[in-house]
Chain A
Amino acid sequence: MPTESVLLILGGVTAGAFGALLGLGGGILIVPLLTLGFGVPLPTAVGTSLVCVIATSTGGAAINVRAGRADVRLGLSLAAGTVIGAFTGAIVAGFLPERILAGLFAALLAYTAVAMLRGLRAGRDDEGDAAGIDPAAPDGAGAPRYRTTRVPLAIGGSFLAGNASGLLGIGGGVITVPLTHLLMEAPMRVAVATSNYMMGITGAAGAYAYLFRGDIDPRQAAPVVLGVIAGAGIGARIGPRLRTKWLVVLFVVVLGYVALQMALRAVGMS
């Protein structure tokens, strides 16, 4: 087996596990991996990344949905916003200067990272987790034990997440997880699992255009997608054993890293 294929599989496994753990699609890792590591043109990297986003979602969501960790009803409501956003994002991508977009994205990510850290310090977290209760487990009426708030506002926010997905080849979890956790007040673990379920739908909305347009290289996509599927399964299995606090900290670190990359791109240093 060629060395490049082995490296692509390993990169896929890492991105898939990381994505399933944090409710991300893994595109944040896959796009830089392909463009910087393997010299793949950006549109091809974005197209491959979107298929990997779907792979991360289907691999992890099959486990999360079955176990009752993902709130499917909530995910469907938000997916309406992300799908429209993904279409719009793909169109707007051709008109908006990349540096402006990168600057806006960096500001949004930095704000989200700070807000999540403040929420953690204020002790706003999953009581169910601490008591060993699965907060996503539906009660006798089939409804979750928590109540989500500000649903219309969140659907508007999910439109932005879809936009980011269509533009940059990411799953949009960097926006939907904080949106569901901070704005809608769903437990972090539910936010992560629901985002993981949703991003397959969002990713598909963008992936069709890339797949039919010819922006995916089958020989490069195959090892990455196979690695991502394996990694997503691993992430979804070890995720429930991790403490929510560390999941939030890990997520904030990722947000900070992506925000820095975006800020560098906005000022022309990347």
Chain B
Amino acid sequence: MESRAGTDLGRAIALVLRGGTILAVAGIGAGFLLAIFNDAEVGPAPLVTMLRAGGADALIGAGLLAMTLTPAAALVAAAVVLARTGERRRAIIACLVLLLLLVGLAAAALLQGPS
């Protein structure tokens, strides 16, 4: 029989992963459909350029951003559930991994290509 802690952790992570995926698919899917009827495109471009371009590219860019942020959001959910169930060491590890991801995100945003 599965424990309450295991069930809560699995549920919370699955919920966030599913939610993030739905959000990402909505953005990427809408952008993809719009792109079929729109020839103007930015090509390979920094995220900021995609978002500023508007229309299909902005929707796809927002979807891609949602996709890349989903694992980080799942880490937040894992840390919260682990802390609540008294698994402090595991919660700290989850926070440490999350911090590393956020540092990478900040560094990438600061050192981004020309937009």
Contact = CB atoms under 8 A, between A and B. Distances in A.
A241 to B, nearest CB: 20
B93 A77 contact: yes
Contacts of A204: 68-72, 101, 104
A142 interface: yes
A210 to B, nearest CB: 8
Interface of B is mostly: helix
Given A211-B68, A226-B28, A80 B14 contact: no
A2 B41 CA distance: 15
B41 A219 contact: yes
B108 A229 contact: no
Nearest to A232: B21
What interface size band does chain B fall in?
Answer: 35 or more
Contacts of B80: none
Interface of A: 1-2, 5, 41, 44, 51, 54-55, 57-59, 61-63, 65-68, 72-73, 76-77, 79-80, 83-84, 86-87, 137-142, 197, 200-201, 203-205, 207-209, 211-219, 221-223, 225-226, 229
Interface of B: 1-6, 9-11, 13-14, 17-18, 20-21, 24-25, 28-29, 31-32, 35-36, 41-50, 56-57, 60-61, 63-65, 67-72, 74-75, 78, 85, 87, 90, 93-94, 96-97, 100-101, 104-105, 107-109, 111-115
